[in-house]
Amino acid sequence: MVNLSVMIGSLRLKNPVITASGTFGYGEEFAEYLDLSELGAITMKGISLEPREGNPQPRLWETPCGMLNSIGLQNVGLHRFLKEKLHHVRRFNAPVIANILGNSIDEYIELTKNLDGEVEAIELNISCPNVKKGGIFFGTDRAAMAELVSAVKGTLKKSLLITKLSPQADIKEFSKVAEDSGSDAISLINTIPAMAVDIEARRPVFKNIIAGLSGPAIKPIALRMVWEAVSTVKIPVIGIGGITTAEDALEFLITGATAIEIGTANFIDPLASIKIIEGIKEYMKRRGVSDIKEIIGSLTCV
Amino acid sequence: MNPSISFQAEIIENTAITPDIFKLTLIPLESFNEPLPGKFFMLSVSETLDPLLKRPFSIYNFKDRKLQFLYRIRGRGTRLLSEKTQGQRISLAGPFGTPYPEPEDIHKEVWVIAGGLGIASLNFLIKRLLSKGQKLKVLYGARTGPEHKLLDDISGSCELLIATEDGTAGLKGTVLDLFNALSLQPATLIYACGPQPVLSFIDRKAQEMGLKAYLSVEERMACGIGVCLGCVIKTKDGYKRVCREGPVFREGEILW
């Protein structure tokens, strides 16, 4: 038996594989296809106070080894999430992480008050490139982020606080801001702002012009940013960005990520997260490693 | 063992029916959930990471455990798919989506309206309905004569009306010209799949005449299972997912 369990602050995960926000819904669809209890944790689709309709079509564009999305945070809103969605995902033996998004500190606080204790952790979404106001502002302004993280941390009594960093920010600087302001962990990266052009129409593919790039194409960038984060802060770092195979996951873990999130890979193969957990186990057996903690941060640079 | 939702299949046949339309026949290598008319599978066109996403394809036929799909070469993904040969393996996921509901009365005539490659989704439905003894009229419009080979042989078992844009077979015109030339009886139920102008026209007509219609739509997808929210379509109840609540929608539902 190999031990895959990791600690994110005071929260124990049975393995380091978490599904990423916006790629797993509220768990309902995937529950038909896999046992959610096998996952390290499940991150909910971003939740705002009020329901959001999201952006008009087109919302997707495939790129080499990646994809652009402009979903615009379509979600059912806090009320329906608590009333209809949460109890479903609660039936499984996996910690639930609520990804939250607001236009103001007050909105984040309101969301936090309602979700504290209902979920194991709150992931602050301050890095979505697909909405016009809020979100990303907090992720790219040092003072604003410090104020937001401190305010949310001050509100929380039970749940853990994870701050999801934007790849647009200087990772060393902003991971430190998150840590100093009270984050229990940080997760990175969100999608990278990017664009595509329709050459016949000579117009941007997306109405918002800029969309978010995800998938294997961004993995080396995400890995570099995770490296910068783990070299800077002491709190756990959760690696996200193009992780598609167990080998990808292991790169992040060896670099120092305590856990990883699976995003776009969930689209390519609904069983990707489960296959990655199995692949990590096989690697450990093959290498004679009994505890995953021996792998995390084992990168040798000299 | 439980049926798998994500599995591999072997290619039995991948042949051109017209210069740009292919028929793909697969034999799954694992047990899978029963495919129903109107549902779709996500097929990988490459076993590498580029192109990254699987593509949605309607079930064209399902017989003797063999899955059949029909596709037109439209871009890099479908071109790569067309280059695959017999004996090669392919990854797929599904079946996904909400199927065409069955008619309530086999004696009341139902109309199946296929515009172009809409036949890729309706062929399976036609066969199912005929095997149950359903009274049926098929309206099928294609670009040119040879494309009528896309509809499996159903001659004699139902009324088939065809049109081609170039007049090489049947009426010269579109499936809508066939539709307009007929009188709809109040009890007629319609199944339709095809380009958006065909579907929106049928939708409007069905509403005007108080008919029930099931319309199958198409949209770009990433996941096919309802989580990416990329394939939404605007309906009177807000955005709905083509992959989950659809691809089959009722008349009056979609805001075209």
Comparing CB atoms, the residue among B49, B228, B232 nearest residue A267 is B228
Comparing CB atoms, the residue among B93, B221, B226 nearest residue A269 is B93
Q: How far B8 CA sits from the closest chain A CA (Å)?
A: 12
Residue B50 sits at the chain A interface (C-beta within 8 Å): yes
Q: How many CA atoms lie within 13 A of A60 on its CB side?
A: 22
DSSP B112-161: EEEEGGGHHHHHHHHHHHHHTT--EEEEEEESSGGGGGGS---BTTBEEE
Residues of B in contact with A22 (CB under 8 A): 228-229
Comparing CB atoms, the residue among B91, B220, B229 nearest residue A54 is B229
pTM equals 0.94
Residues of B in contact with A66 (CB under 8 A): 52
Q: What is the pLDDT of residue B48?
A: 93
Q: Is the pLDDT of residue A230 over 90?
A: yes
Mean pLDDT of chain B: 92
Q: Which of B165, B131, B135 is nearest to B148 (CA)?
A: B165
Position with higher pLDDT, B57 vs B109: B57
Give A254's pLDDT tier (boundaries 50, 70, 90): very high
Q: What is the pLDDT of residue B186?
A: 67
Please give the ipTM for the structure prediction.
0.93
How many C-beta atoms surround the C-beta of residue A132 within 10 A? 9
| Catalytic center residues of A | 128
| Average pLDDT of span B196-210 | 94
Residues of B in contact with A64 (CB under 8 A): 50
Q: Is the pLDDT of residue A134 over 80?
A: no
Rounded to whole angstroms, the Cα distance separating A193 from A168 reads 8
Q: Which residues of A touch B (CB under 8 A)?
A: 22-25, 29-30, 32-33, 45, 53-54, 56-60, 62, 64-67, 69, 71, 74, 215-216, 244, 264, 266-271
Residues of A in contact with B238 (CB under 8 A): 53
Residue B209 sits at the chain A interface (C-beta within 8 Å): no
| pLDDT, tens only, A180-214 | 999 999 999 999 999 999 999 999 999 999 999 99
Comparing CB atoms, the residue among B52, B220, B229 nearest residue A74 is B229
Interface with chain B: mutation pick from A60, A69, A71, A191, highest number of B CBs within 10 Å: A60
DSSP lists the bridge partners of residue A124 as: A100, A163
Rounded to whole angstroms, the Cα distance separating A249 from A255 reads 10
Q: What is the pLDDT of residue A128?
A: 66
Q: Is the pLDDT of residue B155 over 80?
A: no
| pLDDT, tens only, B73-89 | 999 999 999 999 999 99
Of A252-256, B95-99, B133-137, give the lowest mean pLDDT range: B133-137
Distance of CA A53 to the CA centre of its chain: 21
Give A127's pLDDT tier (boundaries 50, 70, 90): confident
Q: What is the pLDDT of residue A130?
A: 60
Q: Which of B232, B28, B247, B6 is nearest to A265 (CA)?
A: B6
Asked if A270 lies within 8 A of B49 by C-beta distance, the reply is no
Q: Is the pLDDT of residue B1 over 60?
A: no
Residues of B in contact with A198 (CB under 8 A): none
Q: Is the pLDDT of residue A59 over 70?
A: yes
| Average pLDDT of span A149-173 | 96
Q: What is the pLDDT of residue A191?
A: 95
CA nearest to B97 within chain A? A29
| Average pLDDT of span A36-52 | 97
